[in-house]
Every structure is written in structure tokens, then in C-alpha cells.
């Protein structure tokens, strides 16, 4: 869904700022995709995800039967960089 389906392009169009995308190679819950997006503050986060969720492109993509079983669980974490972070 992400790369081939156009979700990354939609992220960028909406204003989501992806930092990375990674596939889990070993571990529970395979297959598994992890990604990180950056925001200036929680207000921007809420506004941007609302735009994403209500966008016609996302509604069309998420309704596509090809991706019907793509997402079974979503975990959300909020992080802040440490003083020694390289990001």
C-alpha cells in the first residue's frame, strides 16, 4: 500500500513529514511496517492526520479491495529527541 499504492505521495501532499519507513525482518507480528513522521507540535499532528483521514485520495486507496487486509493493528507512540540524537 505505502509505496506502490501512493500513500507516501499522499503523505507529502497533505503535509505529513516522514522520517523513515522500515519493514520488520525478524520478530512477532509479521509482516509489519513501522514509520515515523515529524510534527512541530500536537496541534499540527492532529490537523495533519485529520486532513489525511478525510482526503478523497485516502478514502479511495483505503477502500481498494487489494488492501482489505493490510492493517490489522496500529500502535502510536510519541517521541522526543534526546540531547544526543542525530535526528
- What pLDDT is stored for residue 2 in this prediction? 60
- What pLDDT is stored for residue 84 in this prediction? 95
Torsion from C-alpha of 64, 65, 70, 75, nearest 10 degrees: 50
Tell me which DSSP letter residue 66 carries. G
What does each of the 87 residues of the chain score in pLDDT, given as a tens digit? 566 778 889 999 999 999 998 888 998 877 888 889 999 999 999 999 999 999 999 888 888 888 777 777 788 999 988 999 887
Total domain count, the chain? 1
- Cα dist. 84→35, 41, 51 in Å? 21, 20, 33
Does residue 83 lie within any of the structural domains?
no
Neighbours of 16 (CB within 10 A): 19
11: CB partners within 8 A, 6+ apart: 18, 37, 52
Task: Quote the pTM value.
Answer: 0.79
Does residue 7 lie within any of the structural domains?
yes
Does residue 15 lie within any of the structural domains?
yes
Amino acid at each position: 500500500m505505502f509505496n506502490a499504492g501512493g500513500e507516501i505521495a499522499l503523505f507529502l501532499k497533505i503535509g505529513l513529514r516522514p522520517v523513515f519507513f522500515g519493514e520488520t525482518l525478524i520478530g512477532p507480528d509479521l509482516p509489519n511496517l513501522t514509520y515515523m513522521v515529524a510534527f512541530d507540535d500536537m496541534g499540527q499532528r492532529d490537523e495533519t492526520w485529520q486532513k489525511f483521514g478525510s482526503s478523497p485520495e485516502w478514502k479511495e486507496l483505503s477502500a481498494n479491495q487489494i488492501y482489505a487486509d493490510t492493517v490489522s493493528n496500529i500502535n502510536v507512540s510519541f517521541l522526543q529527541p534526546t540531547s544526543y540524537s542525530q535526528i
